[in-house]
Every structure is written in C-alpha cells, then in structure tokens.
Structure 1
Amino acid sequence: MIFRKPCTLLIILFGVFNLIFVRKLKFDKTAFILMACIASPLLLEILFFWNNDSSAKGLKALEKNISLLLFPIFIIGNYQRVRFFKLLQTYAAITTVVMLFFFVRFIVVYPELLQKYLSGIDLFEMGYKFSETLNIHAPALNMHLAFVSVCALYAVFYSFTNNEKFGLKAVWLLAFLLSFFFVLFVNTRMALANALAGFLIVIFFEISARINVKKMILASTIILILLGGTLFFFVQKNPYMKEKYTTTTFAYMDKVGKLDEIDHPEYTVFNSFVTRVSVWKSAWELSLQHLPFGVGASDSKPELNKYFAETNQKFLAKYEFPTHNQFLDFLLKFGILGPMVVLLYISAIGYLGYKLKNAVILAFFLIFFTSNLTDDFLLRFDGIAFSGFWFSVFGSYWLQQKIILDKALKAV
C-alpha cells in the first residue's frame, strides 16, 4: 500500500487472479449497497466526466479510482473467505518489518542526515527527508503508519487475551513500539494525534469487552508505560517537537489570506496551519463561484492556482498548494454533491465500526476522517487504494457477522 508501483502491480495481479475464479463471486442486495458506497468517488467521477475541459486528464483522474471498483467486487464478492484478524496481523507485521528495513537503509545510505538530526540541526525536515527516500508524501506515509500502530496494539491485546506464549507477546510489543517510533520519526501532527487517539479507542474497547478485566488493565498499564517512555525519550532527543506542536503550528493566524505580508513565508509558515487555512479560504471562495457543478475533476488544481494569482497571493501561487481538505477538494471539483459523497464514503466506515463495536475499524474511521480534514487523500492513489482495500475488508467482516447474527435470530 505504501509504494505506488508495487501496489499497482499487485492490484492488477489481484484482479486477474479473481477473474479466473469469477464464478465464485456471490452478491446480495446488502453487498451491492456496500459496493456502491465504496465505489461512490469513482461513480462521482464518471457522473461529472462531462465537466472536464480535457478528456485525457479526466481519464487519468478516473484511472486512479479504479481500485474502488476492483476491491469491492472481488473482496466483498468473496466476503466469506476474508480472514479479518489474520489480515490485520499480517498487515501490521509486514509493514513494520518493511519500515524497519528502510529505516536501517536510511541510516546506512544517509549517515550525514542522521548525524545532522542527532546534532539537533534542521529537525523540522527529518520526517519529510525520510519520506522522500521512499518516494512518498510524509502525511500519506504517516497515515498508513498510524493505522499500522493501531493494528499492532490490537495484536498485543489479542496475544494477551488468548494466552499466547511469552515470546509472541514480546514480539507484538516490539512491533507496536517500532511502529509507534516510525510515526514519531516521520513526525506529522495529524498522524501522531490520530495514533494516540486510536490507542485510547483500542484500550477502552479491550478493557470494556473482556471478562478478565484485571489482565486487560495489566496489559494496558504495561503498554501505556512503554508508550509514554518512547514518547518522552523521543521528545527529549527532538526538542523541535515542543516548538512544532505549539508555536510553529499556530503562528501568524492573523495573516490568513495575507501570507505575502510575512517575511520569507516559505521558511516560517510553509507547513503551518495558517497556510492551510489560507488555501481553504481561497478554495471555498472559488467553489462558491462555480456552484452547483464545480470546475471539473481535472481542472480543480489549475483553477485554484489561477485564483491564487488573481487574488495576488504570490506565495500560494508559487508553490501551487492543493486544497489540503478532501471536502473542499470535492466541492471545488463536483459542486454540492462532492462533499456529500466524501461524507457518505467516510461515514460508512464509521457505521461499520459502530455496528461491529470494533476498535480497529473505529480507529481507522477516525484516522481517515481527520486526515482528510487537513489533506486530500481521495485525490492520491495511496489514499484511494488504502481506504478502498480496508473499507472492502471491513464490509466483508460486517457481512460475515451479519450472517452469524441472522442465523442466531432464526434459531431463537
């Protein structure tokens, strides 16, 4: 999921493999409704294809969303074969090992960067430089890693609940700490907040759902001590963390829409909240001018950049900032219907988590919802494939549990 080219290849192989066994696919009315929810961003692109100035660019925008058709058809069509908890564990374990490999590679290949950061120099760039070595946007990478951490924590509780061997418990604890360390290392604000909130959701659900409350409280205490220790150690070694999460984030909020009045804004507010709010302000104003149908999927970014120039916002025009908000992005592209589809898509994930009373799904909902408030991950391939895959897996698990519940009610 993290790497676009391998992920694209695997999706193609996945599709071809399932076409061979297409007769095994099974759907009912409920499955079709779920599939329509998952494919809703793609269906919206198709519905508003006429609004693109360039058909070629419109087709390119459609191509990024194809996984939202393949995943629901082939995963939900085989929902009885989906092993939900095994998938979570495998995903958490493999992704953590892959990230460990690339972290060691970063140390070996870029020792000068590591030495600089250890000396406390340019700590603001650390996570972004590491992400560049993986050829992925830092917030996108950390959105994945936040969910990996939540999955690893869930696996820790699972190992305690099922009285697995001490060695396996220790392995999952190590995987959890490593995955959380990578979240800290990439160091994007929203992902860190989401990871911590996800941990609290998992801990709350595990304690309230288990009969052996003492064992869960013991496990939670161990986890919180290790988590707090890791966070404290990292902040001590990275003093920029305190500055980044306080003064830097909310600096110059009186300059919304007037960033050029700031001395060297590219150095002082490039990643600050004021820059995002300025972009949101412009995107909102431009969207209102193009209601009810928007400017078109392929034309939103050039039109927004044009608006930056027209309103004399030189800093935003120079760096061609995207909307950094999925709801505003779809409002600009598709008009009134756009944010409604985003809300449907994300809320449906939350609904599945609520109905299943599942901490991992609820944590995923929180991560993806809040991430799309400050970024636009349904614009990016990694966000589209990431959410489409897990949405389909969650939907399959819900269908499995629904069948079990229906059978139990019939027996009564």
Structure 2
Amino acid sequence: MNISEKNFNKIFNVFLCVIAIAMIFRKPCSLFIILFGVFSLIFFKKLKFNKTSFILIVCIASPILLELLLFWNNDSFSKGLKAIEKSISLLLFPIFIIGNYQRVNFLKTAQIYYIVTTIIMLFFLIRFNVVYPELSAKYFNGIDLFEIGYKFADSIGIHAPALNMHLAFVSVCALYFVFYSFHNNEKTAIKMLRFVIFLLSFFFVLFVNTRMALMNVLAGFIIVFFFEFKTKFNLKKMAIASVTVLMLLSGILFFYVKENPYMKEKYSTATFAYMDKVGKLDEIDHPEIKVYNSLVTRVSIWKSAWELSVKNLPFGVGASDGKPELNKYYKQTNQKFLAKYEFPTHNQFLDFLLKFGILGPIVALLYMLTIGYLGYDLKNAIILSFFLIFFTSNLTDDFLLRFDGIAFSGLWSSIFASYWLQQKTTSGKVPEAV
C-alpha cells in the first residue's frame, strides 16, 4: 500500500493525539491502540532503528520483557497470557513510536492533548451536574465532601486516583503552555485562552481531590517555574505571568479549602489516623468507614506484601498470582478487613517484588528512571513533571497493574524518547536511524 510521506506523518500524529486523549476511556482507547498497531504494521518498512533507539525500546518495554522472562513462574498458563495482554502496549508503543521517532511532533501533541482533555472534563462536569443533581446539591451544601471526586470519576468510568494522575499531567502541560505563549509572543486572546484552560485544568485536580495528585501537580508547577526562571527570555514578561499565576493559584486554593472544610481533615487527621494499628486494622471499630483510604491501611498492606515477598524470593509468585496470593496471606494472618476488600499492594515496587522477586523492583525503577533521565537530559519541565507524577503515584498505588497506568506511561515515555532522539540527532550526538 502506497501513501505519501506527508499523509503518513499526519495520520501517525493524529493517532498519537487521539490515543492520548482517549486514555481515560479504556474501551475506545484500546480500539485506537489496535488500529494504530495495524496501521504501523502495514507500513512497517517506514520504521527505522539504531543502537540508541533499541536501548530506549528495551528500557520502556522492560516490564513486559520481565513478564515474558518469568512466564514459567505463573501457576496458570491462561492467566499468565492475560497478564501479558494487559502490558502489550509497553511493547507496541516503543517499537512503533520510537521506530518513527523523526515523525513525532511532541509539542503539538501535548498542546492538543491538554486542551481537548480539559474540554472533555468540562463536558463531563456539566453532565455530572445534570445526571446527578443530588450529589452536586450535597457537595454545595457541605455534605459528604469526601465522595464527590470519586463519584465524578466513577461517572466517567475510571478510578479517581488514576483520573487525577492524568489530570495532574494535563494541568502541568497547561501551565507550561501559558509560559510558552509568552515565549512566542502569541496574541493576547490566545494567551487568555491558554490561561483559562490552565485554571480549569487545575480546578479539576482539586475537584477529584486525591492527595497524591494534588501534591504532584503543585510540585509539577514548581518544576515549570524553576525552568522558566532559567530560560533566557524577557524577565519582565515572565515575572508578570508568574505573579499572576501564583496569585490565582493561591486564591483558588484558599477559597477551595475554605468552602471545602474536609480538605483540612483529609490531608491531616484522616490521612494519619490510627497509625498505631498497622497490621491490626480489625481492632478499629468499622475500619471501612474510618481508615479505608488512610495511610495506616496502606502501610498494613505494604507490611503484608513485604512479608509475603520475602518468603517467595528470588523469583516471586508470578505475574498472574500476585493479588490472589496476597489475598490468601491476608486470610492466613487473620486480617479480615484486608481480606474482605482484597486490597492490591498499592505500591508498584512492592507489587513487582511480590510477582517477580529480586528483578521486579529493579525493572520498575529502570522503567521510571528512563523517563526521568530523558527529562533531566533535555531539561524539559513537562517530561520531568511526568516522571515525578508517575513515580510518586506508584509509591502509593500500582499503576503498572492498570490499563490507565500501563498505556499512559508507555505512550508518553515513547513520545518523550522520540523527542529526545530528535534533539540528539540534530546535535549529532546520536547517529541517524537506519
């Protein structure tokens, strides 16, 4: 099949944008990924690789390569295949995106992604108020403030921490392009539009209101500000933009916390309550009410996961058997609350240690540090912020178990790697792909 280079590049980048935007919708996104794979296979002759790109592909695909290496350790052949199927995008994305690295338009993809995703969130917020007016009424009356973000995420069909991980990255991208508009002297109307979209994106992070995402987005903002202060561009314009953004962010946070008193409780007493009950959650009266999302529950899970992991060194229990074996351990150690709700590890490094043994956390660290290296080497605030968001999110959750973490990180890390290769090829530090 023949296609012009111009049309191929256009279709290729449209796929990247559509997949990125659809990431919070599992079924449509899965379909787009399949179509992207078929499209890339049809034109496989356009793929070009060199030694450096091959190393990057291996680093990004390392989690699924580890699953293949230790496939023999699964108790069930079919469940082992299912575990690999969930991670297949970690092989597909680096091969087909990095193999076409010279065609990737990183900044344009990021711009379209953050704008369209924010507009989609606005649509779903309006829909949420129309379909669930009783929940909105409770929220505005200060009742059950803890549940509104989770209910909103459920109405979209995604887990709240996963949604807010995406939204945190969207908001960091939005802030980056606020400064980008000043760098490029865009029209005032465009600057204002970028600013409004940024404020909306930050509002959605607050609305979903998950602890790690809020801390990550603020840390991401700091990274963006830091690199902006290091750039050689009109300090007066940057100072005006920075002060304006900081004042508005401070104002939004102040009024949001004032109108949402649960914020104070959630980030203090609700998080750190009952820390003396680690491993003894059943001693708490109604733990599902008092500590379901508290740190003590996470630490109790981590304690059990660590103990079980140590018993199954050096190769772990197998990719398909991590959660079932952990649930069995809850029952064996008479932890009824944890057994009832079948909590996963809520820590990606412990999850990989449990499944794959010694190699597990090493591979997880390699995968994430690859993203960090790309951002550090390029001195790029978007990439470094993504690394921070994904790395810290996986300290309290296990997003390489979930489609919205696997595909999300696989797509963007492949895009980042392509951008890095473009910059290094231009500077002559990496040979042209062949």
Please indicate, yes or no, whether the TM-score normalized by the shorter chain is above 0.5. yes
Name the residue aligned to 1:61.
Answer: 83
Offset from partner CA, 1:42-84 (integer Å, 9 cap, x none): 1011111111111111111100111111111111111111111
Contact 2:220 2:385 in 1 (8 A): yes
Q: What is the aligned counterpart of 1:172 among 177, 180, 194?
A: 194
1:212-262 CA-to-partner distances (Å, cap 9, x unmatched) read 122111111111111111111211221100110011000010100000111
| Residues 70 and 318, structure 2, Cα contact 8 Å, conserved in 1 | yes
* CA contact 1:202–1:360 (8 Å) conserved in 2: yes
Name the stretch that deviates more: 19-28 or 267-276.
19-28
2:414 is matched with which residue? 392
What's 1:27 paired with?
A: 49
Following superposition of structure 1 onto structure 2, how do residues 212-251 of structure 1 map, counting pairs within 5 Å?
212-251=234-273
CA drift of 1:211 comes to 2.6
- 1:153 maps onto 2:175 in alignment: yes
Find the counterpart in structure 2 of residue 134 from structure 1. 156
Deviation at 1:269, TM superposition (A): 0.3
The residue matched to 1:296 in structure 2 has which SS?
coil
| CA displacement 1:300-332 (0-9 Å, x = unmatched) | 111101100111111000000000000000000
Measure the CA separation in 2 of the matches of 1:210 and 1:114: 46
Unpaired stretches in structure 1, ≥5 consecutive residues: none
Pairing partner for 2:341 from 304, 319, 322 = 319
Q: Do the aligned partners of 1:61 and 1:298 also contact (CA within 8 Å) in 2?
A: yes
Matching residue of 1:92: 114
Letter of the structure 1 residue corresponding to residue 345 of structure 2: T
CA contact (8 A) 1:210 1:216 kept: no
- Corresponding residue for residue 345 of structure 1: 367
Alignment of 1:5-404 (within 5 A): 5-404=27-426
Q: Tell me the SS of whatever aligns to 1:194.
A: helix
Cα RMSD (Å) of the superposition? 1.1
In structure 1, give the amino acid aligned to 2:279.
Answer: G
Q: Which amino acid aligns with 1:2?
A: I
TM superposition outliers: structure 1 runs of 4+ over 3 Å: none
Does the 8 A contact of 1:256 with 1:274 survive in 2?
Answer: yes
- Measured in 2, the distance between the counterparts of 1:315 and 1:20 equals 51
Q: Distance in 1 between matches of 2:296 and 2:237?
A: 45
- Deviation at 1:407? 7.2
Change (3 A) 1:382 1:408: closer
Cα offset for 1:210? 2.7
- Comparing 225-234 and 399-408, the one that deviates more: 399-408
C-alpha distance after superposition, 1:322-360 (max 9, x if no partner): 000000000000000000000000001000001000011
1:408 to partner: Cα distance:
11
Deviates more, 1:297-306 or 1:227-236: 227-236
User: 1:279: how far off?
Assistant: 0.1
Runs of 5+ unmatched residues, structure 2: 1-22
Q: Distance in 2 between matches of 1:143 and 1:108?
A: 25
The CA distance in 2 between the partners of 1:97 and 1:149, in whole Å, is 12
Aligned mates of 2:200, 2:39 — CA distance in 1:
34
Letter matched to residue 360 of structure 1: I
Measured in 1, the distance between the counterparts of 2:81 and 2:244 equals 51
Paired position in structure 1 for 2:14: none
Query: How far apart, in 1, do the equivalents of 2:60 and 2:152 lie?
Result: 32
In 2, are the aligned partners of 1:201 and 1:359 still within 8 Å (CA)? yes
Determine if contact 2:183/2:233 at 8 Å carries over to the other structure: no
Measured after TM superposition, the shift of residue 16 of structure 1 is: 1.2
Structure 2: distance between partners of 1:175 and 1:268 = 36
Distance in 1 separating the partners of 2:430 and 2:330: 59
TM-score w.r.t. the length of structure 1 is 0.98
Task: Please give the secondary structure, in 2, of the residue aligned with 1:249.
Answer: helix
Query: More deviation in 223-232 or 289-298?
Result: 223-232
Separation in structure 2 between the aligned mates of residue 298 and residue 118 of structure 1, nearest angstrom? 43
Whole-angstrom distance in 1 between the partners of 2:239 and 2:399: 36
Against the structure 1 CA distance between its residues 408 and 380, is the aligned structure 2 distance closer, same or farther, given a 3 Å change threshold?
A: closer
2-side partners of 1:138 and 1:25: how far apart?
37
CA distance in 2 between partners of 1:127 and 1:392 (Å)? 30
